[in-house]
Each structure stands twice: as C-alpha cells, then as structure tokens.
Amino acid sequence: MAQRTRDYSTEFVRRQSRAKELGWSGYRQRRYWSARMTDAYVKELAEQIGGPVEPERSGSLMSLEANAKVNPRGGARDPRDWHVRLLIAAGKIDG
C-alpha cells in the first residue's frame, strides 16, 4: 500500500482562510489566542469591558453589559467568532 504524502501548504492555506472567515487576522493569531482563552482569562477580559458578573448570573463568565458588547442583539455579528469580538472590545487585538 502506497503511503500518501501530505501537502502542508494546502493545509495551511485552508486553515488560514478558515481563521479569516471567523475574524482572526490569520491562523497563527487564532492559534495563539485559542490557547490562552481559559475561562478565567475570558472572565477577566469581560470584567474589564463590562464590570463583574451579577450575582444572579453566578455561573456566567460575563456580566450583562459585557455580553451586550460582545454579543449584540439584532444584525450580523461581525467578526463571527465571539472570542475575536471579546479581544477587540478589551483592546487586545485590532478590530
């Protein structure tokens, strides 16, 4: 049975285009930030943009104000990935 060769450049182009569809500048940016987006870090960023989580939302990572900034109602959510919207709102990456 012949061993298939892997085309890394095609694979990178596919990953790069998918990351850009979601709103990242590229695959490397997505990979860098995805590894750092723990629940604790998401909560820290959300508190920076919208204050602490309300007591009645104890299981949530974001306050209502932060959630309204990251996940606006009505209309398209652009960029598509909420992680990108959170990082833009917190000033960690350019929008």
Residue 57 Cα distances to 16, 21, 63, angstroms: 36, 31, 8
pLDDT for res 1: 65
For 35-92, the pLDDT digits (tens) are 999 999 999 999 999 999 999 998 999 999 999 999 999 878 889 999 999 999 999 9
Q: Model's pTM, two decimal places?
A: 0.85
For residues 63 and 72, what is the distance between their CA atoms, to the nearest angstrom? Answer: 13
- When comparing pLDDT for 5 and 66, which is higher? 66
